[in-house]
Structure 1
Amino acid sequence: MPKSAISRLTPTRTHKLSAAGIAAAGAAALVFAAVPGADAGQGKTQAAAAGLNIKPVAFSAVDTAARAQQATIAQQADASAAQGKAEAAAAKQQAEAVAKAEAKAKAEKERQVKDAVSRATVRKAIPAAAPKAVKTYPNTLDGWIRESLDVLAQHNIPGSYDGIYRNLMRESSGNPNAINLWDSNAQAGIPSKGLLQVIDPTFRQYHVPGTSWNIYDPVANITAACNYAADRYGSMDNVNSAY
């Protein structure tokens, strides 16, 4: 017999299983048909016995592929659900971080406003210091000596009221415009001037900052003379004659 004919006559494994299943089903039908008068319990027993000889029909390749596809779809669904859950968690975490940052910024702004209000309250509560009163002196011999003593004290130059008064009364009799035109200084062209009879070079050398550059100015004249006496004699208090 030709090979092709044999191939057509030779059943495949699937064909065999299908034929066996059909045969088994037919046999079961014959069993039920052969005992028409049997009761229900006996029919069930015989059907169960006949069913033991039925062989399962093999699954086709199409069924296997369908199951694999379903498994893949299920895996993809699980992965998508996991990704969605992770994205939701990340979004929640980001929202919490943003809310926390906004709360912190709000608290900081409130603190700054509170501090500003506190500082304003403190400034308002502390009264402004009253302007320091400017000390004034009478335009008299007493006032000139006292103002000069205050300037001397600022520059740590020694001298006393009595020492100044005693010497200026001897030198000029208290006249701020006094000038000596007859002594050796006058003959040299540099006459003594003012309350304490100071020559111009000495006045310029021992002038004290904060006083006038006018040698006839009473306070400037006294202060420069006391500065010179302190350098030369230790203090105007140590001067008892022409110096």
Structure 2
Amino acid sequence: MSDKELPLVQHLIELRTRLLHTVIFVLVVFCCLFYFANDIYYIISAPLQNLLPENTSMIATDVVSPFLTPLKLTFFAAVLLSIPYILYQIWAFIAPGLYKHEKSLAAPLLISSVLLFYAGMTFAYFVVFPLLFGFVTGIGLEGVATMTDIAKYLDFVLQLFFAFGFAFEIPIAVILMIHAGVLTPDSLAAKRPYIVVGCFIIGMLLTPPDVFSQILLALPMWMLFEVGVFVGRILYKNKEAREIEEAKQD
């Protein structure tokens, strides 16, 4: 084995170890939450169940749905709760290969991305779900009972959780594009009208067909874009100053 191959093998071994630790951690969290699987599902389904007409309820059309659906949600919750530990493992693996200024940027971005993803999910649960399900249950056809399948409901809310979670990552995406030199703060600011229109189109697609709920999603996305441009402008100026200083030293 040559000297050049040894570091690669060591990196692969470290990667395998960290992946193993991550899987074990997620499974431990899952086992801790398993007992509360039904309670977790009830919490997630509450925005719809609280709006269902009297004498109606959610249903299970598959024989194993009452068992597998809460189990699926519990595993999803375990992964979400494990994200900080997962990011720590990722950070511990890549940090040795980063420069000092890259470390000072990467750590806040990782933490901010997690917090923003959680914020997007929270926004969906407390703001969007009541509006969406209130609209859907309010326009039901006469003589047709509203009884949603628990598995389809879970798939639907998970899609919305991911959609809003990733939508709230807009500042991180903006900052990364500026830092990578793909776009500049001024070029992004010049595209503001298109960004605003795009936010409202996304809001229209992800929310009920009413102006109020569309605005509730579009405005936060727009504001998050502005935050990303503001922070990116500061980082861009710092990067330019650092490059000028390095050029003088050379």
TM-score using structure 1 length: 0.22
> Larger helix proportion, structure 1 or 2?
2
Higher relative contact order structure (alpha carbons within 8 Å, sequence separation ≥ 6)? 2
TM-score using structure 2 length: 0.22
